[in-house]
A and B are shown apart, each in its own frame.
Chain A
Amino acid sequence: MSAGKHIFQSPASGFRRAERAWLWAFRLATYLVLACGLGVFATIVVKGSRTVFQTEAPFLNVRFLTQAPESLYVFDFEGRHYEQGDREHRAFVAAHPAAENVKKESLVYSAGGIFPCIVGTLLLVVGSMSIALFLGVAAAIYLNEYARDGWFIRFVRLAILNLAGVPSIVFGLFGFGLFVIFFGWNVSLLAGWFTLAFMVLPVVITASEESLKAVPKGFREGSLALGATKWQAISTNVLPYALPGILTSSILGVARVAGETAPIMFTAAYVVRDKLPWEVARAGDFFFQGVMALPYHIYVVSSKIPQNDYTERVQYGSAFVFLLLVALIATTSILLRNHLRNRYKW
């Protein structure tokens, strides 16, 4: 451990070497995990950026990000090779009627973009996080500010702990049984929102409680001593200081909500939908429509269509955009949390 020869230093023995080997094994395990994570990330980033970015201005594949998915037609016509999306192809056939009967390969979802999926995912995240934050923060306030230790609180905490361990597909089944069938909401945004909100509730409650705990007791006591009611003390002297922490810690919940596929498979997600979410006849219909969602789209394009050079673009592209979205959210949360931990010290 110390450099140089020391009188008590034992000679390098087999034991020492074994010890060093073990310590290296631990190090190896750690870096292996990091390398695997990096490998997955890098593969998708490298292959996906070929779809999302391009070499000429504006450097971003705007079509991919702003259009709806459509079928891809690959064919040879009059000695030239064509790869066309559905609409483009129809226009082409109208112009060249001879192209109608050319042998062509058609691949669903492999052309166009993923705009409706991005929109759908954002809608799902915003809606479900609003519900989860409302319920979760309120629950945390009760647990941290009002409740006294007793069977009720222990029961609630046990429920939260167990809820956190319930598999996401079970939430999907539950949402399907309760919202889609029992409430008759069908496959809709609303059903997806509540399903996801309940799934992420334990994360939000735990995060909120942690932030509330970080506010020093003196703040509450000072306020109470000045004659404030409990609620006044909480609303003026606790929540404002806890809120940044609550919001940032809950971002981890956002990553979870955005990333889960199983709960929305039968509650909110459509394989394909022509209309964008805001194209509804009545405002009330907005909540009762299914949407396309990015994770479900990735599932569909990676399992339902063959793997080849043409489909690869949309597969990696969607995965890349999705991963970027989630990674962005997660990184923000981790950085902000570390930042806040250093800032709020009383």
Chain B
Amino acid sequence: MPSDFAVAKRRLRLLGLTGDDAIKAFFGGNALVSVVVLLLITIFLFREGVGFFGQNRQNLAIYRQAGLEYVEFIRAQQADHIALTRSLADLRLRYLTCLTEERQMTLAAANEALAGFDDYAGKFSDTVEPLRGLATELTEMATAIKTKFLVTQDQKEARRQLLAEGKSAEAAKVKIDEVDFATELKPLVGTLPVYRDLNREFARRLVEVAAAAPALPTADLRDRMTRLQQHVRDYVAGFPAIETRLAKWDHRRPVPWWESFTAFVFGRAWLTASFWQDWYGILPLLAGSVLVSMVALMIAVPLGVGAAVYVNQIAGVREQKFIKPGIEFIAAFPSVVLGFFGIAVLGQILRAVSQLPGLSWVPGFPYSERLNVLTAGCLLALIAVPTIFTLAEDALNNVPRAFKEASFALGASRLQTITRIVVPASLSGIVSAVLLGLGRVIGETMVVLLCAGNRIAIPDFSSGLGVVTQPVHTMTGIIAQEMGEVVRGSIHYRALFVVGLVLFLLSLAINYAAQTIVRRYRISIG
């Protein structure tokens, strides 16, 4: 047949695909893997995490129904009194240092001189005793109601499981002691008149005791004492508000669905495995993560961008040849090794530096906690620098030579060219480099887990910049630390997944911002 090609070849088809099509499909499928992984991450974080909000609502509902919320008002009142006592103790310490250092008294003599003050402080802290007794009693009552309810829940769960296994006879045998919250709460709420009496007496005694402050030697101490007394008066003035709140409290008030969400997003406490009430609020963790990252960026941005400018614009070829691999080498440091370095070496060094007498003017110095935001931030900076350096250097490299040459031709100096031409022209790239550095830092786990101090509390920002010397806990750290110990499917377990979800979304947002900035603000090279 002359019309056919000599090399015509029938291709084997399988499901309508030639071999080549199949190969193409195979490779395409592999390309799809990253999309699938990203989807799976989203799905599994949601799958494990989404149950949290329902469980947390339940958690909050029990908190209210079992009367824990009611008791919490009184406990908070007591806690405030403890805070006042603590500031009194702080005052005593100042008094003591004043006596020993300025008056050159021996410690024993100073303590003797403080006897009057101690008597006052003792009376002050004793005033709360009746209230404390009531609070302890009520705490026990509320906890008992909660435990009772939880036992009921367990019984219901047992019955449900038996039913699911088809053992209806045994299921019927499971006794369920329904908890009627109204009756259970009656004795608890019934203590209100007692509380009122106690409270009136407490307020009277507190004001009376506080007013009888001993004479203090220096103006500073007297000033502090006056302020403390003012605090006491404010504290007592708040008592009627607490009483109205207690009177108005109702265990039947429903917990709306969004409250479990806001309790998570705006929750100021992350408290788990507590005998009283577990709280899952992300704020302390978020604050810790953000604070550590900010410290890291504060150090890493000038260094990273400075190094990029230096290597790209100033350094000679021979210098470039060892600086670039050197910084890339730093990028290869495993983070756990850096974390270990922080625990073993850097923590001590920084603490020793902070305790140098010449540096006491620095906010937060001296400090005694060697693992804190500063230690973790310094090490994270070392992690962020290579990322920022590499990307910023790329961005600087992309600035056309002509820009620079034109600038030089106009008589600009080297520094002027760098600061007015090259850096502005590559600013979008540099900003995105910084953002990606932020993403790297905020997702870093081992360094913060080992070096940030792991104290779950919102750092005290009132000390200004000194806040960086406080220990914090972070989102990544809490997952790494607690995930191994939680019961699968428990509310705590799900809460950790939600934290992971927040972290994931945060990283996506940072990535998105970095890409958008590069795309939108790129200077067109014409």
Contacts and interface: CB of A to CB of B under 8 A. Distances in A.
Contact of A142 (B30, B341, B503): B30
B238 to A, nearest CB: 42
Nearest to B346: A40
Nearest to B305: A29
A162 B265 CA distance: 24
B122 to A, nearest CB: 38
A170 interface: yes
Contacts of A295: 334, 336, 446
A22 B497 contact: no
B183 interface: no
B19 to A, nearest CB: 7
A44 B341 contact: yes
B44 A182 contact: yes
Contacts of B35: 155-156, 159
Contacts of B24: 142, 146, 230
A315 interface: yes
Given A142-B27, A162-B508, A265-B480, A302 B343 contact: yes
Interface string A147-163: 10000000110011111
A83 interface: no
Given A142-B24, A167-B503, A170-B504, A262 B476 contact: yes
B340 A319 contact: yes
Interface in B1-30: 7, 19-20, 23-24, 26-28, 30
Interface stretch (A30-38, A71-79, A100-108, A277-285): A30-38
Interface stretch (A60-68, A122-130, A133-141): A133-141
B415 interface: yes
A258 to B, nearest CB: 7
Given A166-B443, A169-B476, A138 B30 contact: yes
Nearest to B441: A167
B337 A44 contact: yes
A33 B339 CA distance: 17
A336 B241 CA distance: 73
A229 B510 CA distance: 43
A23 interface: yes
Interface stretch (A90-98, A214-222, A240-248, A324-332): A324-332
B205 to A, nearest CB: 47
A255 B60 CA distance: 46
B307 A201 contact: no
A26 B382 CA distance: 17
Residue among A28, A138, A143 with max Cβ neighbours from chain B (10 Å)? A138
Interface string B502-520: 0110011011100100000
Nearest to A320: B337
A40 B476 contact: no
Contacts of A299: 336, 339-340, 446, 449-450
A29 B508 contact: no
Interface in B278-328: 302-304, 306-307, 309-311, 314-315, 323, 325-328
Residue among B27, B310, B436, B508 with max Cβ neighbours from chain A (10 Å)? B27
B288 to A, nearest CB: 14
Contacts of B512: 162
A172 to B, nearest CB: 8
Contact of B444 (A167, A307, A315, A331): A167
B439 A165 contact: yes
Interface of B is mostly: helix
Residue among B19, B303, B325, B504 with max Cβ neighbours from chain A (10 Å)? B504
Contact of B336 (A23, A139, A177, A261): A261
A276 interface: no
Contacts, number: 259
A71 B48 CA distance: 38
Interface string B404-443: 0000000001110000000000000000000010010011
Nearest to B46: A177
A202 interface: yes
Contacts of A143: 31
Contacts of A331: 329
B488 to A, nearest CB: 7
A29 B303 CA distance: 5
Given A135-B33, A139-B27, A29 B302 contact: yes
Interface residues of B, number: 84
Contacts of A167: 439, 442-445, 476, 503-504, 507
Contacts of B309: 26
B26 A138 contact: yes
A259 B500 contact: no
Nearest to A328: B332
A23 B418 CA distance: 10
Interface string A252-285: 1001001111100110000000000000000000
Given A202-B34, A231-B23, A265-B483, A302 B339 contact: yes
A19 B415 contact: yes
A259 B31 contact: no
B40 interface: yes
A40 B338 contact: yes
A322 interface: yes
Given A167-B443, A167-B444, A37 B34 contact: no
Residue among B323, B479, B497 with max Cβ neighbours from chain A (10 Å)? B479
Contacts of B339: 299, 302
A229 B20 contact: yes
A174 B45 contact: yes
Given A202-B34, A315-B340, A162 B511 contact: yes
A37 B386 CA distance: 10
Given A23-B415, A299-B339, A169 B328 contact: no
Contact of B344 (A29, A145, A302): A302
A139 B483 contact: no
Contact of B382 (A36, A170, A296): A36
A99 interface: no
Contacts of B164: none
A147 B337 CA distance: 41
A139 B511 contact: no
Residue among B310, B325, B503 with max Cβ neighbours from chain A (10 Å)? B310
Contact of B314 (A18, A26, A138, A255): A26
B307 A177 contact: no
A228 to B, nearest CB: 11
Given A30-B307, A260-B335, 18 more contacts: A33-B330, A34-B323, A37-B330, A139-B27, A143-B31, A165-B510, A166-B504, A167-B445, A171-B41, A172-B483, A174-B41, A231-B19, A260-B334, A295-B446, A315-B344, A319-B341, A322-B336, A334-B329
29 contacts: A27-B310, A27-B314, A33-B327, A33-B385, A36-B382, A37-B327, A147-B28, A162-B38, A163-B38, A165-B507, A165-B508, A166-B443, A167-B442, A167-B444, A169-B443, A169-B445, A172-B483, A173-B44, A176-B483, A230-B20, A259-B333, A260-B334, A261-B335, A261-B445, A296-B336, A299-B336, A299-B450, A326-B334, A334-B329
